[in-house]
Amino acid sequence: QQEMEKVKDEIARKIVNAESGGGMVKVTMTGTNQVISLKISPEIVDPGEIEMLEDLIVAAVNNAFKASQEVAAEEMEKVTGMLPSLPGMNFGM
């Protein structure tokens, strides 16, 4: 149990970066799926392109979430020695 808590703490300290639109939208997220940074390239901020920007933000956040889940699964696998959990499992966080 103590080892699991240690791993949860390590996961929480992990940082993942993801992007969409060829780097036009970038997201930084913790291992516990908290978005800590969102960067948008100025050249895509056009009132006529709001829908595209919204789509890029969603894609970047989803990419960061996936990366965060992969980091968490890798850390948990180190402790448990088992196969990674099913998608969507959040390890009790």
The correct CATH number of 2-76 out of 3.30.1310.10, 2.30.33.40, 3.40.50.800, 3.40.50.300 is: 3.30.1310.10
* Cβ-contact 21, 61 below 8 angstroms: no
* Cβ-contact 67, 16 below 8 angstroms: yes
Where the chain has pLDDT below 50, the residues are: 93
User: Could you state, in order of their start, the residue ranges of all structural domains in the chain?
Assistant: 2-76
- Please tell me the predicted confidence (pLDDT) of residue 37: 87
* Euclidean distance between CA atoms 80 and 41, whole angstroms: 41
Give CB contacts under 8 A, 24+ apart, made by 52-55. Answer: 53/25
- Please tell me the predicted confidence (pLDDT) of residue 32: 84
Distance, first Cα to last Cα, the chain: 14
